[in-house]
Chain A
Amino acid sequence: MESVAHSIGLSAVMTWTLLKVLIVFGSVMGVSSLWTWVERRGSAMLQDRIGPNRALLFGRWQLLGLPQLVADGLKFFFKEDQVPPHVTKRLYWIAPMLAFVPALIGFAVIPFGRSFSYQGALYHLSILEPGNGMGMLYPLAIGAVAVYGILVAAWSSNNKWAILGGMRASAQMVSYEISMGLAVLAIFMKVGGYDPGEIITEQAGVLWKVLPNWFIFRQPLGFLVFFVCMFAETNRLPFDFAEGESEIVAGFHTEFGSMKFALLALAEYAHMTTASALIATVYFGGWSVPFMPEAPVLLTILFFLIKLLFFMWVFVWVRWTLPRFRYDQLMFLGWKVLLPISMVNLIGNAWWMTRGGH
């Protein structure tokens, strides 16, 4: 590390931070774009279709349709990028960035592996060092900013479909945010802090001698609420009222094309990646390996990846299995079902804690 840092003229700490930032940025972007392929192949698998198989690498190798990713990417570059006269220009350009940036930077506090020491120095595998004070509040706050991307995109398009989609999505996201916050609050209560590192340490060990000590087994009710809210927050089916192909064409990005659309689509998948990482960290022990308290660092990274990718697959799985909700059903579920459940979960946990439980 020292020699590499010296050769590029930066201090060791800065090199390490830069490396982590690039790794996280690259992985989130890579996984997000890969998932546009997984989504199509997965949907084809679940619905007994073939899926993308026509794009061939050098006109020869099919590779399970993977070249489709390259083909799509190239096509986005070669598409005409029109800015119609009826849009609000400045907001129209800013909207894809407003959607893209929060989706990616939410990942910054999530640890993706066990901290390790090398040649006397301690290295943490998360962009922000643990003990930074904001902890899990940060991804929740950044997730709340994501609603602006959709709302600004919808408003700037000056299109009826777009405004319908944007209004629906913003109302939906703010409705589910409350239950999500209350569900995570019960976790903070158990842990006694916001730090994701502490949340993971709290989940180490064994529950009832057979299960890993994950929060999903200790707070199943909270997990249910959080899990459902994550689908609503990322605008994924069964709650994709922002897009709703069968009702409002393409919703908030009806007027977007070319690279601007690519960024909006990528933002959705990046948001999904962050949401999966949150679920894995808060309820499934993050990088911790079940029944192996002293797991090697590489194994912890591998386990984090497995959990992350599993939950991203669940997003796809649910999308192609469940039908879409009706809007009044969505509001009913958010305000009249999930909010009372998360309240009961919170008060029940608080009572249990004050009685000396843990």
Chain B
Amino acid sequence: MRGYAPILLLLLICIATPPLVWGLARLLRPKAPNANKYMVYECGITPVTQAREKFSVRYYLVAVMFLIFDVETVFLMPWAIQIKELALFGLVEMLFFLFLLLFGYGYIWAKGALTWE
């Protein structure tokens, strides 16, 4: 078992577990549906609108900012483990990149994209 095969084994066991317990529970549990149980839970009030509506745009903004910064983190990784070899030259090169990024960070901060009210 070389390489990543053990992870596949663990993955298969993990994927097999939920159907197993669901299957066992299916044999044991009762089934007595009624209209009130099937109502959307809103603390007992009859829901008036659908749940899937327009949502605050800030969440999408967070998603976009996450993409930018996470790609940056991934970009830093090969540099980080080579830092001893790259030495000062590598650091200065990376600081150019980080400067651009931090400039953007300062910009979104100034624009108020990071402020929640």
Is the CB–CB distance between B21 and A259 below 8 Å? yes
Any chain B CB within 8 A of the CB of A79?
A: yes
Instruction: List, in ascending order, chain A residues with CB within 8 A of B65's CB.
Output: 335
Q: Bound complex: CA of A354 vs CA of B87, how far in Å? A: 5
Interface of B is mostly: helix
Contact yes or no, A167 B73, CB < 8 A = no
B98's nearest neighbour on chain A, judged by CB, is: A347
In the complex, the answer to whether B18 meets A263 with C-beta atoms within 8 Å is yes
A21 CB, min distance to chain B CBs, angstroms:
5
Interface check A289, CB cutoff 8 A: no
Tell me, rounded to whole Å, the shortest Cβ–Cβ distance linking B62 to chain A. 5
A153: CB under 8 A from chain B?
A: no
Taken together as a complex, chains A and B put the C-alpha atoms of A127 and B11 apart, in Å, by 12
Interface flags for A237-276 (1: CB within 8 Å of B; 0: not) read 0000000000001000011001110110000000000000
Among B29, B43, B95, B109, which residue has its beta carbon within 8 angstroms of that of A78? B29
Distance in Å: Cβ of A328 to nearest Cβ of chain B: 4
User: Residues of B with Cβ closer than 8 Å to A?
Assistant: 1-7, 9-11, 13-15, 17-18, 21-22, 24-26, 28-33, 37-43, 47, 50-52, 55, 58-59, 62-63, 65-66, 69-70, 73, 76-77, 80-84, 87-88, 90-91, 94-95, 98, 102, 105, 109, 114-117
Given A259-B21, A331-B114, 16 extra CB contacts under 8 A = A20-B6, A78-B30, A81-B26, A82-B38, A84-B38, A84-B39, A96-B18, A167-B59, A174-B62, A177-B66, A177-B70, A186-B80, A193-B81, A194-B81, A249-B43, A332-B115
